[in-house]
Amino acid sequence: MSKAVDVTGADFEEKVLKSPVPVLVDFWGYACPGCDLVAPHVDAVAEQFEGRARVFKVNTSEEMDLAVEYGIFSIPALLFFKEGEVVDQLLGAVPQAQLAAKLQSLID
């Protein structure tokens, strides 16, 4: 069972920006009820799209520079990357189907 993998500033470029497939990045933090609600959906989407897309998590408390770079002011923030660029985003605890639909649209 695949789950979303942590990514840090040290490997963000390699794993996210240089990815040959679309990427979903979940910017989250501790003591965030919305983050706790969306986490199982993010993990399920990681499993659903294994081999066709990548799914990562960024802890905004530990990776403040990434949060600032991508303008994260509210969490959870879910950013969708394609060819190294942010192409879409969702804010808040969104349903799994919505995450999957956004990611699928980047693959089609």
Which tens digits make up the pLDDT trace of 26-44?
999 999 999 999 999 999 9
User: Is pLDDT of 87 > 50?
Assistant: yes
CA distances from 32 to 1, 27, 60, 90, 92 (A): 25, 11, 11, 16, 10
- Residues assigned a catalytic role: 32, 35
- What is the pLDDT at residue 108? 86
Cis before 76 (ω within 30): yes
- Measured distance CA(28)–CA(13) in Å, rounded: 19
DSSP secondary structure code for residue 53 in this structure:
B
Which structural domains are found in the chain, ordered by start? 5-107 (3.40.30.10)
pTM, two decimal places: 0.95
- The pLDDT value given to residue 2: 60
Number of helical H runs and strand E runs in the chain: 4, 5
User: Tens digits of per-residue pLDDT, 31-79?
Assistant: 999 999 999 999 999 999 999 999 999 999 999 999 999 999 999 999 9
Block residue for tokens 């985003």: 89
CA atoms within 13 A on the CB side of 74: 6
Nearest to 56 by CA among 17, 97, 106: 17
